[in-house]
Amino acid sequence: MKISKKAYYGLRATLALAQTEKPLSIHTLAEMEHLPLDYLEKILQTLRKAGLVTAHKGVAGGYALARPASETNIWEILRELDPPIKTFSTPLKGELPCLHVGHCQTNEVWRMLENKIEKTLSDVTLESLIPRNNS
């Protein structure tokens, strides 16, 4: 499975938001994470429309997570920024490796793998990725 640069940047941005108490301006966030400002703006708009982040106006405004980091999982973010997430594409009839697509024995294996990836990423919250101080 390969995620896009858009999804990778989105994960970095949401993880940064998970580690702060106050909203972060898009400029601060772009600078902190070394992300292109214009691209980050589009990513955050997508995440805002999906209800994963909120935008606050004003001097102390910026972006924040819409829910606690403990309730925001990686799958939700990837699904919004990289739809659809697939590990394989069913071959067309006559293409290798399945000459008879309806009878391809490996299709079920790939579906099971996709389900396991979704479950695993759904179990990983932003909170679980925040580094802990060992003091």
pLDDT digits (tens, 9 = 90+) for 51-66: 999 999 988 899 999 9
Q: Which pLDDT value is given to residue 90? A: 59
E-assigned strands of 11-61? Answer: 53-56
Q: Which pLDDT value is given to residue 100? A: 58
**Number of domains into which the chain is organized:** 1
* Percent with pLDDT over 90 in the chain: 66
99 within a domain of the structure (yes/no): yes
Sign (positive/negative) of CA torsion 74, 75, 81, 85?
positive
Where in the sequence is the domain holding 43, given as residue range(s)? 5-129
134 within a domain of the structure (yes/no): no
135 within a domain of the structure (yes/no): no
Using 50, 70 and 90 to split pLDDT, how confident is the model at 77? very high
111 within a domain of the structure (yes/no): yes
Using 50, 70 and 90 to split pLDDT, how confident is the model at 101? low
- What does pTM read for this prediction? 0.83
Q: Which pLDDT value is given to residue 128? A: 97
Q: Is residue 29 within 8 Å of residue 40, measured between CB atoms? A: yes
90 within a domain of the structure (yes/no): yes
12 within a domain of the structure (yes/no): yes
The domain that contains 70 carries what CATH number?
A: 1.10.10.10
Q: Is residue 39 within 8 Å of residue 9, measured between CB atoms? A: yes
